Chains A and B, each alone.
Chain A
Amino acid sequence: MENAIDLDFTRNVIDEFNGAPSAIIAMLQEIQEKYRYLPKEIFPVLSRTTGLSEARIYSLATFYENFSLEPKGRNIIKVCDGTACHVRKSLPILERLRAELRLPQGVVTTGDLEFTVEVVACLGACGLSPVLTLNGKAYPAMTPDKASNLLRSVKESEVPRDA
């Protein structure tokens, strides 16, 4: 299966931290960095090696905002809605992105797993507000129109899937 989860990776991560229960958050972070979410298959493995119950690990995954149990899109857009960005009108940018990607309320990832649009509280680049990041790269002084253009350029620059 194409999307099968490689549990060796998880085991390597556990080894890296010697299976220490106190390092569980760091382990989850590394796993999430690889898959862009936490696949459900990893929980029993983590539980067996760290001695923490699956429920306990699951509770961490739902408590901390950065963890996701759902697969995220290939392109991750984070719209900053910290105070500085907020007073310089970041919400219309978010609205525009969500409208253009036709994301229904409560949904952050497009059906084709191409885009995820998230809101973050502050990226620490307040001097350049409003800011958004696309796949980790920050784009300063955004407007709804600039966001539309950015979206377009990502879509256009992509190589078609079957090519």
Chain B
Amino acid sequence: MLKSRQELKDLREKCRKAAKDEVRKILVCSGTGCVASGAQEVYDSFREILERLAIPVSLRFIEDGHGVGLKKSGCQALCEKGVLVRVEPEGYLYTKVKPSDCETIVTETIEQGRHVEGLAYKDHDGRVCKTTGEIPFFKKQTRLVLENCGNIDAESFLEYLSAGGYSSFEKALYDMNSQQVIQEIADSKLRGRGGGGFPTGYKWQQVYRQKLFPKYIVCNGDEGDPGAFMDCSIMEGDPHRMLEGMLIAGRAVGASAGYIYVRAEYPLAVRRLKKAIADLEKYGLAGENILGTDFSFKFKINRGAGAFVCGEGSALTASIEGKRGFPRVKPPRTVEHGLFDKPTVLNNVETFANVTVIIDKGADFYKKIGTESSPGTKAFSITGNIENTGLIEVPLGMTLKEVIFDVGGGMKGGKKFKAVQIGGPSGACLTEEHFDLPLDFDSLAKAGAMIGSGGLVVADEDTCMVELARFFMNFTQRESCGKCIPCREGTKRMLLILERVVSGNGRSSDIENLMDLAQTIKDTALCGLGKTAPSPVLSTIKNFRDEYMAHIVDKQCPARSCEKLKKFYIEPELCKGCVKCAKLCPASAISGKAKEAFSINPEICTRCGICVSGCKYAAIKEAW
């Protein structure tokens, strides 16, 4: 238990020294992606091999003494190439590491400092990149918020300290008063990273002014947008940075409790946060009289229960209170009547992580990054049909083209770029004509899109934009809480029309009806979820009207993607009449005589495709 500033400083110094003394480090990426690819097995294998070869190994920072530091790091960003392993001090990055590769890494790199070329990352042209610094994906990134993510043991409080952790909080607690902390955040022009881009400093100032106590800090970790996992990566990879930001917020506005609302689908994030909070309590950085001062702050984690609408502020606080996640009419705003009807600072994970950086490095430093009205960086998760899927952090204002081609490495398999969906189900799609659009809050708003939480999903020529619009509408419709009619009924009608269109039953008036409904929902829905629900439809109609027309008029899907418009048929010349397909078909849609050509009844066929993969003679074909 640390009782004073000096004790915290001493411990940090001790940790810094220990980090320097760690001559070698093996960082096994243990983000959600790499865990799915087998990170635990790789970790166990390293451990077993190091012990077998009698190489001193340090599993727990400091406590195990000197040795090769074997660590489970946060997301190292190139999720698709997992399991990722980095060896320090050389910085060699190994990709697609399997347990059977660990012995080679230990004997070559750990024992002799040699690089293992077979496991290295290779860029577009097949050039070997030994370290992350040589990989184009990382070159254009600016890692402020994700600085530690992937570089330290995600579960170690002491290692976070060794990287200068909790010095921002220390500064805010001892060297600054509330007003100074809020002013610093306001000066930095930090805007909320949850989607809306509301100025954080202004929000804090409003809560600070409230006379009602207690006040609350709420962290929105309900990252519901499908295709977004930045907040997940921060919570998993560097939970302390976010917790530190919450402590600073608590100190600034005079709150004594912080709630973290995490999505149910992020069990690893919940586990790591629990561990981090337990460590804070153990070391006296959370609880009563922190570091011997009069500042007290408690953390509490709430797990979501699977409702997208809970990402909306008032729905989220209702859920923490044990109620249904219904948004309410505003005003009064959360800053006045938030959680338990008390003044509440509600920010998202990335915003709190930014706070820690700003207090540490100062508003002037922060403002130099990004654009005039949107300073700083933004983390994006870049996924879909792109070469480098993963987690990126770039200065705000970088152009779409740079993000997709320089950082993202261009389209997967050399396919043609079609669109990028930004901002999830509330966002819009951007096309080639937006290539030079700077990605910042205001430019995107002008283009009818929004940064949202930062999910970028890249679609290639094989992606049907009508189907993508249907997909998002299906999502918002399912997630509509049902409180207001425009959203509850309007999204349902829009979905019905879209379903009709993608299944080949579209009517000539459908586009017009969609736009009419969209406008009504936009104008009259109660919360942000409803108001933005029609955005994907509107933007796909605007940019890909001809695709809608092809579905409606010609009953064709130009991207060859809509299953309902697909037809299976058996090529009579190739069919040997082996009867296998007829036996496999779960719908009994295939018939014929043995040793003669079979045929598929399109009326019964459910287009499941089991017959296609089951046919030894490749006689079953698809057509659109």
Contact = CB atoms under 8 A, between A and B. Distances in A.
Given A87-B463, A123-B32, A127-B79, A24 B226 contact: no
A25 B222 CA distance: 15
A29 B232 CA distance: 20
Contact of B384 (A65, A83, A138): A83
Interface in B218-246: 223-229, 232
A81 B306 CA distance: 14
Interface residues of A, number: 49
Contacts of B321: 22
A125 B613 CA distance: 27
A107 interface: no
Nearest to A136: B267
B79 A128 contact: yes
Contacts of B459: 87
A71 interface: no
B227 A122 contact: yes
B383 A129 contact: yes
B322 A126 contact: no
Contacts of B448: none
B82 A128 contact: yes
A42 to B, nearest CB: 16
B317 to A, nearest CB: 11
A33 B73 CA distance: 28
B449 to A, nearest CB: 15
A122 B224 CA distance: 8
A127 B320 contact: no
A113 interface: no
A85 to B, nearest CB: 8
Contacts of A114: none
Contacts of B36: 125, 128, 131, 137-140
A39 to B, nearest CB: 17
Contacts of B367: none
Contacts of B325: 63-64
A16 interface: no
Contacts of A150: none
Contacts of A24: 322
Given A26-B303, A100-B586, A144-B613, A126 B264 contact: no
A84 B322 contact: no
A94 to B, nearest CB: 10
A70 interface: no
B80 interface: yes
A116 to B, nearest CB: 15
Nearest to B607: A95
A102 B608 CA distance: 12
A121 interface: yes
Interface string B130-154: 0000000000000000000000000
B545 interface: no
Contacts, number: 159
Given A60-B324, A87-B468, A128 B37 contact: yes
A99 interface: yes
A3 interface: no
Given A66-B264, A122-B225, A127 B33 contact: yes
A99 B589 CA distance: 13
B389 interface: yes
Nearest to A80: B226
Nearest to B561: A89
Contact of B324 (A22, A63, A83, A137): A63
B273 interface: no
B121 to A, nearest CB: 14
Interface residues of B, number: 64
Contacts of A63: 307, 324-325, 481
B390 A96 contact: no
B610 A126 contact: no
A138 B472 CA distance: 24
A127 B80 contact: yes
B33 A83 contact: no
Interface in B277-332: 302-308, 319-325
Nearest to B471: A86
A79 to B, nearest CB: 13
B450 to A, nearest CB: 15
A157 interface: no
Interface in A115-152: 120-129, 131, 136-140, 144-145
Contacts of B224: 121-122
A94 B148 CA distance: 37
A44 interface: no
Contact of A83 (B227, B267, B305): B227
Interface in B254-279: 263-267
Interface in B450-497: 455, 457-459, 463, 468, 471-472, 475, 479, 481
A128 B32 CA distance: 10
A143 to B, nearest CB: 9
B606 interface: yes
A121 B303 CA distance: 16
A86 B452 CA distance: 19
Interface in B344-401: 381, 383-385, 389-391
A43 interface: no
Nearest to A131: B36
Interface string B421-435: 100100000000000
A137 B41 CA distance: 13
B227 A144 contact: no
Contacts of B48: none
A73 interface: no
Contact of A127 (B82, B306, B455): B82
Contact of A124 (B78, B265, B468): B265
A7 interface: no
B609 interface: yes
B303 A123 contact: no
Contacts of B608: 95-96, 99
Contacts of B472: 83
B413 to A, nearest CB: 12
A123 B265 contact: yes
A92 B563 contact: yes
Interface of A: 20-26, 28-29, 52, 59-60, 63-67, 81-84, 86-88, 91-92, 95-96, 99-100, 102, 120-129, 131, 136-140, 144-145
30 contacts: A23-B322, A25-B305, A25-B322, A26-B303, A60-B322, A63-B325, A65-B307, A67-B306, A81-B226, A82-B226, A83-B226, A83-B472, A84-B457, A87-B384, A88-B384, A92-B563, A100-B586, A121-B224, A121-B265, A121-B308, A122-B227, A123-B265, A125-B36, A127-B78, A127-B391, A128-B33, A129-B389, A140-B33, A140-B36, A145-B613
Given A95-B563, A129-B383, 17 more contacts: A22-B320, A63-B325, A65-B305, A81-B226, A83-B424, A84-B389, A86-B468, A87-B457, A87-B459, A95-B606, A99-B586, A121-B475, A122-B265, A126-B381, A127-B383, A128-B37, A139-B36
Which 10 pairs between the two chains have the least Cβ-Cβ distance? Answer: A127-B79, A82-B226, A65-B306, A138-B36, A83-B227, A64-B305, A84-B383, A66-B306, A122-B226, A126-B383
